[in-house]
Structure 1
Amino acid sequence: MFTGIVTDVGVVLETEQRGDLRIRIGTRYEPDGIDMGASICCDGVCLTVVDKGKSAPENDGGWFDVEASAETLSKTTLGGWAPGRRINLERALKVGDELGGHIVSGHVDGLAKVVEIVDDGDSTRITFEAPEALAPFIASKGSVALNGTSLTVNDVMDRRFGVNLIPHTKEVTTWGDIVKGDDINLEIDTMARYVERLQSWNRWNKA
């Protein structure tokens, strides 16, 4: 589990198709502090560390390798990742850690598209379009995870919803790189999933 609070901005170093897609990510995380098999949220996608190592002596941090299955590639932006791409990273939540965002599973539901970016004072307002099947799960003043970042929804109109990014968020994440037309990994709020499941179960039992 994660909180949607980004703790590092990594960079894709290389990708290789080995049946599944293998991706090497450079990070400021100390490799000795990363366990093999650990989960790291990469742009909102929970991925398992399958290898790790130190960077060149002149660089801080190290690297870790992850693998993405065909199912993961079909639901996320990972298939388009190329060397040099910056990605939001978060280590898995530990018992006793501060929950600064909201509960994030790292299980991306689909892709939202950036349809508008406008300045709003010192902040930036971004409007997204959600897939039709996911739009009902997004509520005004609710939470969503977008590229692994916990954000509050300002407003919703049909399939479109907006969020505001303060300057700090843009500085410590990849949101300063986003442009109109980009696809974004979207995870709806976990509670919304269960509410819908309960409602559909009740409807089915009454039928």
Structure 2
Amino acid sequence: MFTGIVQGIATVEEITTAPGLNTFVIRLPDDKVGGVTIGASVAINGTCLTVTRQDGNALYFDAMQETLRLTTLGRLEPGDEINFERAARIGDEIGGHLLSGHIHTTATIVEILRPENNVTLWFEVPDEWTRYIFPKGYIAINGASLTIGEVQGNRFNVHLIPETLRATTFGKATEGDEVNIEIDSQTQTIVDTLARMGYDQPPMSP
């Protein structure tokens, strides 16, 4: 499990491509690899991957074809920067909301607004996922736990403070960038439960 509090920015150093599998070498800051073991879970742009090898502060991860298809990881290139979070431990403070590291879909940044001292990012998601997106609800974007601002059709925005921009890759985001989306699990459970009970149906005309 993860908390959605991004622990820093890491750099993709190398990618080895094989049929149905990509191996990523990702270099973390020196002070963020203490206690890492083979088999440990790390969220890479919100995607839970397993450490298969360690060489100093460079960690190796394998991503299967399904992971590459469902997330943005298949479009990473050497030199790209990513958000990372090591798995939460019992007793850790949950500053965001609980995440599984299982990506539901991707979204595209369609507009960036820069009012004084903050940034607003607008995202567009596939229509079938809009049922889980509500103003003031939780969402994880590239592994960062964020609060949804406004929702307009299949678009929504988030408002980012300077600290979030500093600690994540959002500080360098550009329009057209694709991001990984994990829907809040409690929201998804409630919406799906109501749908099974028939409460998502439009009212019948008199």
Q: TM-score, normalised by structure 1?
A: 0.91
Q: Offset at 1:22? A: 0.5
Q: How does 1:1-207 map to 2 (within 5 A)?
A: 1-19=1-19, 20-28=21-29, 29=31, 31=33, 33-54=35-56, 62-203=57-198
- Report how far residue 31 of structure 1 moved: 4.3
Per the TM alignment, residue 121 of structure 1 is displaced from its structure 2 partner at its CA by 2.1
Q: Could you list the runs of 5+ residues in structure 2 that have no partner in the other structure?
A: 199-206
Spell out, residue by residue over 1:2-56, the C-alpha distance to the aligned partner (whole angstroms, 9 max, x if none): 11101121100000113311100000255451111111000010001111111xx
Which residue of structure 1 lines up, in the alignment, with residue 202 of structure 2? none
Code of the aligned partner of 1:40: V
User: In the alignment, residue 44 of structure 2 is paired with which amino acid?
Assistant: C
| Aligned equivalents of 2:34, 2:121: Cα separation in 1 | 38
1:34 & 1:190 partners in 2: Cα distance?
27
Shift of residue 198, structure 1, vs aligned partner: 1.9
- Contact 2:131–2:191 under 8 Å retained in 1: no
Partner secondary structure for residue 23 of structure 2: strand
Determine the structure 1 residue equivalent to 2:204.
Answer: none
User: Any conservation in 2 of the 1:31–1:52 contact (CA below 8 Å)?
Assistant: no
Q: Secondary structure at the match of 1:197?
A: helix
Q: 1:8 to 1:128 in 2, by over 3 A?
A: same
User: Per-residue deviation at 1:64?
Assistant: 0.5
**CA-based RMSD:** 1.4
Aligned with 1:98: secondary structure? coil
Distance across 2 between alignment mates of 1:3 and 1:120: 28
Q: CA deviation at 1:168?
A: 0.8
Structure 1 distance, partners of 2:42, 2:178, is 21
Count of residue pairs the alignment pairs up: 197
